[in-house]
């Protein structure tokens, strides 16, 4: 029980909520940090060994997750989002349609599966929330969430990976009726629905923190950053991020406030959000009782497009947006927002952290970099280029049991990054 309590403290969760850590979007606590050990600190010149590749998973930008027994990933086939289960050797075990796809621009799936216990939880691009049996892919329950809660989506449809919290599945329909809801993970029935902020949904997957003796769901929609009490759905505080432009003369893309994609970072009472298109990054401090937030600093350099950011030893790492095809890699001081460095390495893209190293994937050509987290300079240790799949490299990498998963369109690749 002591080890459980320690892990809960590390992840920022209460012990009551933390029953088992799900395999989910951007790692155990959605921070982009994977709790892996004994990984290579340098790769061969040709890159780590490709264990296997699997085609036929459907088009998509979602990450792969693994519970150790199988690997799960979503994709789009025709007009339907499907869930694929693969063996640890890359053989497709089963595939299950779980909801309608988004039909507008960039319709490929964006939902990373959330695997907890015997079940997998998903949200389709058309707003269907589903629970699937891990053993055989059969659907246990399904809710037309966008329709039921009168959700209001943005320019690129629904893009959210469901959050598990105790017996609750958290989903963010937004709109005039409610903003965020909790469904019973066993039945799909509504446990609570919050008040409405009368806003449109964005493309952020929420995360759960514990602070001020409360379990709090934090996320960003079209305009608002907000925190919700997990126990009852009460919105504790909100901040109009979409209209926050502290520096006059900074030209942003008109749609910037509507394209939030980055799951917030949190550490010891401080909360950081960022968005692309020259929008500002903002650091907040939560009040001791978690009833409010106060801005502490802002930054205009690390405007992350959709590749995520990570916090490592007091510094934030990620890539910024220069235009839709260009971006540099950056490092900021967590406490002050000071820019430590900005470096060109191909272009922008996703970043995660595992066993002391950053894994950077540039989105244009598929180069993967193993980077030492160094606040003094961009320190590239090794790199290689992926060769399979089509489209931009937008899917975030993931690491499970010494295997690096890179998804590119209809192809999933598994690389061996374990120390020998």
Query: For 286-320, how does the pLDDT look when each residue is reduced to its tens digit (9 = 90+)?
Result: 999 999 999 999 999 999 999 999 999 999 999 99
Output 256 or 380, whichever has higher pLDDT. Answer: 380
Grouping H, G, I as helix, E, B as strand and the rest as coil, residue 143 is strand
The reported pLDDT for the residue numbered 224 is 96
Alpha-carbon gap, residue 413 to 399, rounded angstroms: 12
Lowest mean pLDDT among 102-111, 118-127, 190-199, 364-373: 102-111
Alpha-carbon gap, residue 246 to 8, rounded angstroms: 36
DSSP 8-state symbol, 358: E
Domain 16-416 class in CATH: mainly beta
Residue carrying the six token digits 């059969």: 138
Q: Is the pLDDT confidence value at 253 over 70?
A: yes
The reported pLDDT for the residue numbered 245 is 76
Alpha-carbon gap, residue 223 to 194, rounded angstroms: 17
CA 170 to chain CA centroid, Å, is 14
Q: Strands 33-34 and 351-354, how do they pair?
A: parallel
Grouping H, G, I as helix, E, B as strand and the rest as coil, residue 403 is strand
Model confidence over 207-238: pLDDT tens digits? 999 999 999 999 999 999 999 999 999 999 99
CB 73 within 8 A of CB 91: no
Among 317, 396, 22, 350, residue whose Cα is nearest residue 405: 396
Grouping H, G, I as helix, E, B as strand and the rest as coil, residue 144 is strand
Q: Is the pLDDT confidence value at 16 over 80?
A: no
Q: Is the pLDDT confidence value at 246 over 80?
A: no
User: 353: which 2 tokens?
Assistant: 């952290």
CB 155 within 8 A of CB 108: no
């Amino acid at each position: 029980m002591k080890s459980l309590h320690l892990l809960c403290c590390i992840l920022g969760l209460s012990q009551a909520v933390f029953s088992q850590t799900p395999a989910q979007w951007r790692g155990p606590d959605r921070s982009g940090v994977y709790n892996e050990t004994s990984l290579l600190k340098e790769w061969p010149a040709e890159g780590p060994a490709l264990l296997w590749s699997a085609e036929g998973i459907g088009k998509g930008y979602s990450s792969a997750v693994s519970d150790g027994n199988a690997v799960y990933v979503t994709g789009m086939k025709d007009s339907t989002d499907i869930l694929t289960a693969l063996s640890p050797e890359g053989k497709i075990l089963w595939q299950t349609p779980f909801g309608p796809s988004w039909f507008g621009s960039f319709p490929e799936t964006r939902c990373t599966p959330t695997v907890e216990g015997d079940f997998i939880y998903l949200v389709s691009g058309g707003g269907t929330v589903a629970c699937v049996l891990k053993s055989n892919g059969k659907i246990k329950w399904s809710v037309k969430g966008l329709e039921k809660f009168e959700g209001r989506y943005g320019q690129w449809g629904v893009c959210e990976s469901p959050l598990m919290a105790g017996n609750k599945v958290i989903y963010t329909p937004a709109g005039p009726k409610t903003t965020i809801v909790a469904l019973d993970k066993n039945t799909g029935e509504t446990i609570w629905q919050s008040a409405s902020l009368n806003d449109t949904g964005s493309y952020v997957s929420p995360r759960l923190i514990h602070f001020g003796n409360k379990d709090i769901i934090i996320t960003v929609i079209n305009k608002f950053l907000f925190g919700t009490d997990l126990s009852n759905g009460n919105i504790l505080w909100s901040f109009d991020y979409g209209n926050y432009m502290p520096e006059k003369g900074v030209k942003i893309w008109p749609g910037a406030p509507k394209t939030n994609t980055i799951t917030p970072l949190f550490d010891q009472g401080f909360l950081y959000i960022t968005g692309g298109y020259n929008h500002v990054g903002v650091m907040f401090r939560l009040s001791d009782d978690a009833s409010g937030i106060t801005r502490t600093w802002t930054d205009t350099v690390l405007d992350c497009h959709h590749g995520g950011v990570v916090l490592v030893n007091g510094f934030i790492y990620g890539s910024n947006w220069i235009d839709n095809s260009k971006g540099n890699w950056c490092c900021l001081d967590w406490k002050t927002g000071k820019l430590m460095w900005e470096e060109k390495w191909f272009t922008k893209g996703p970043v995660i952290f595992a066993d002391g190293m950053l894994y950077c994937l540039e989105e244009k050509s598929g180069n993967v970099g193993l980077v030492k987290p160094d606040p003094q300079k961009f320190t590239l240790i090794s790199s290689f280029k992926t060769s399979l799949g089509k489209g931009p490299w937008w899917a975030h990498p993931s690491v499970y049991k010494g295997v690096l998963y890179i998804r590119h369109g209809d192809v999933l690749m598994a690389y061996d990054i374990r120390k020998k």
